[in-house]
Amino acid sequence: MEEKKTDEKKHHLVDPKLFLLLIGLLAVWLVFSAFVPPEFKPVPGEDSALITFTATAGGEVILNKTIEVDTGINAFEAMNDVAEVGSQDFGEMGVMVESINGVTPGENEFWALYVNGEMAVTGINGITLEKDTLIEWKLEGIEDYSG
């Protein structure tokens, strides 16, 4: 009869006391996690932003792309991921965009940069993306520039 008890114990994969302890800990964790204030819970997409890049030349749209990026990324880096950008780096003065998707300004034209509808006060490499942003490039005449 003792042999039968020994054989029955061998069939348990996990000690029943250990199993109950693990179930109890899981229940305690579930109860306490339900009471965590919302400001401590991560928000999906909190560390990312939607960025829309557009470029128009002579009324023709040559770029219209929206991407999701990690916040804190440089706008020039993000733009290079969505378009073919020809540029020249002027060191401390910044980067000048010379062409977008193969379109280069004419003799009296330039690529004007707008951020959320306002003409940018810095070059594209001086913009850090922290929230959803619209970045527009418009091929404009130098005579139209009032900045």
104 and 98 in contact (C-beta within 8 Å)? yes
Burial grade of 55 (CB within 10 A; 0-12, 13-18, 19 or more): buried
CATH number at 117 reads: 2.170.130.30
Which domain does 14 fall in, by range? 2-40
| Six-digit token string for 106 | 């004419």
Q: How many domains does the chain contain in total?
A: 2
* DSSP 8-state class, residue 54: E
pLDDT tens digits along 43-83: 545 789 999 999 999 999 999 999 999 999 999 999 999 99
Q: Is residue 63 domain-shared with residue 8, that is, in the same domain?
A: no
pLDDT tens digits along 11-34: 666 677 777 777 877 777 676 666
Q: How many CB atoms lie within 10 A of CB 79?
A: 24
**pLDDT given for residue 3 in this prediction:** 54
Q: Is residue 79 domain-shared with residue 123, that is, in the same domain?
A: yes
| Six-digit token string for 57 | 């030349």
Please determine, for residue 10, whether its predicted confidence score (pLDDT) is greater than 80: no
